[in-house]
Amino acid sequence: MSRKVVVTGLGIVSALGLGVKQNIHALQNGHTGIAPIKYLQTRLRDKFVLGEVKYSNTDLKSILGIDEDELISRTSMLGILAVREAANMAGLTLDELKTCALVSGTTVGGMDLTEQIVDFDSEKDLHKVLNLHPCGDSTEKIASYLGIGGFVTTYSTACSSAANAIMMGARLIKSGRADRVIAGGTDALSCFTLNGFNSLLILDCEYCRPFDRSRAGLNLGEGAGFIVLEAEDIAKPNKALAVLSGYANANDAHHQTASSPEGIGASLSMQKAMEVAGLKCADISYINAHGTGTPNNDSSEARAIGNLFGDNPPFSSTKAFTGHTLGACGGIEGVFSIMAIQNQELYAGLNFSEADEDSHIVPIDQYEKSEIKHVLSNSFGFGGNNSSLVFSKI
């Protein structure tokens, strides 16, 4: 059984703002959301810049109507905001949500709360806080808040988590196991991730510069991005925004944290995603690159794009706008890819000035209107877990 999978709703929260409208306005006008640290309580406050969502946890609870005293992770609240917007855009009813599936990707779960425990012996809500720690808790909180009653599961495959969640959603529909799936990812910033990436020496103290010769690392970010996937035969008239036409995952098994220098896994995931979509390289109008800004990632991805496409299509990384949102990036950049198709536009790769001396690859450096039929979106995770999605115009 194989059914055409269409996207009928989008939801997003990032450093660029709450909702699709604020995010796209920032992309169109070249406004980054990366800024000095304001909310994360860290000893590295004065060293790095981050893509923080510009609302405190108290603000988020107020927006969602959650009691100020309720224990809930920032990861859960960012996810709820994005899923709520996606469901509303798709026009899903309460009855439809009761049978809808939810597949969510995350890397930190409730770590933003559990890492704040100073003394386990004196923490009065110790067990309640610890119960929020697993990645699956954020998915269950999202499902509970929205009344989602179908199949619910969580993906945690590092920075490809949300892309793999979307892939899983499409496979549930194509196999007939679900008619409707909300899929994507959510991740909040935490000291654990900031300290961990700092220890790997892959953070840039300045604003990141994906694919630029002077790139020195990534800027971390947070947020959530979800899309509503529906079988075409049950989607409401005039609701389809795009087709999820292709997807693939490949692993180059090169290193725990580094991508293979030859871009083997990245090439495979892009190639197989296009095969699933029935497309050739020449059909791709735009690549939303993973483009973290680290020397290794961008060199590997540039090699993969060059090997596969030769004269590469227009491409850019939007991480200089949002920061690297880890488990959420596949969902956030999936939303950007679909909006590129909807608005027939290309988003600039900020802070680029000079091509790498090896790849000579040059991203789009300014916002522009263009005919967009098919967008390839890459998400590459630690462990060589590489995923690519293809979104196509209706």
Task: Please answer whether residues 6 and 394 qualify as being in contact, where contact means their C-beta atoms are separated by less than 8 angstroms.
Answer: yes
Task: Please answer whether residues 359 and 303 qualify as being in contact, where contact means their C-beta atoms are separated by less than 8 angstroms.
Answer: yes
Tokens 């709703």 locate to: 9
CA dist 312 and 326 (Å) reads 26
- Catalytic residue, chosen from 100, 290, 329, 374, is 290
User: Active site includes 208?
Assistant: no
User: Active site includes 127?
Assistant: no
CA dist 24 and 387 (Å) reads 24
Task: Please answer whether residues 186 and 106 qualify as being in contact, where contact means their C-beta atoms are separated by less than 8 angstroms.
Answer: yes
Look at phi and psi of residue 211 and say left if phi exceeds 0, alpha if psi is from -120 to 50, else beta.
left
Helices and strands (DSSP H and E) totals, the chain: 13, 15
- Catalytic residue, chosen from 159, 208, 329, 374, is 159
**Strand pairing partners for 10?**
227
Task: Please answer whether residues 208 and 351 qualify as being in contact, where contact means their C-beta atoms are separated by less than 8 angstroms.
Answer: yes
Task: Please answer whether residues 362 and 348 qualify as being in contact, where contact means their C-beta atoms are separated by less than 8 angstroms.
Answer: no
Decide the pairing of beta strands 286-288 and 315-316: parallel
- Catalytic residue, chosen from 133, 135, 208, 324, is 324
Can you tell me whether residue 140 is helix, strand or coil?
helix
User: Active site includes 281?
Assistant: no
Closest CA to 82 of 8, 140, 20: 20
Task: Please answer whether residues 379 and 244 qualify as being in contact, where contact means their C-beta atoms are separated by less than 8 angstroms.
Answer: no
The residues annotated as belonging to the active site are 159, 290, 324
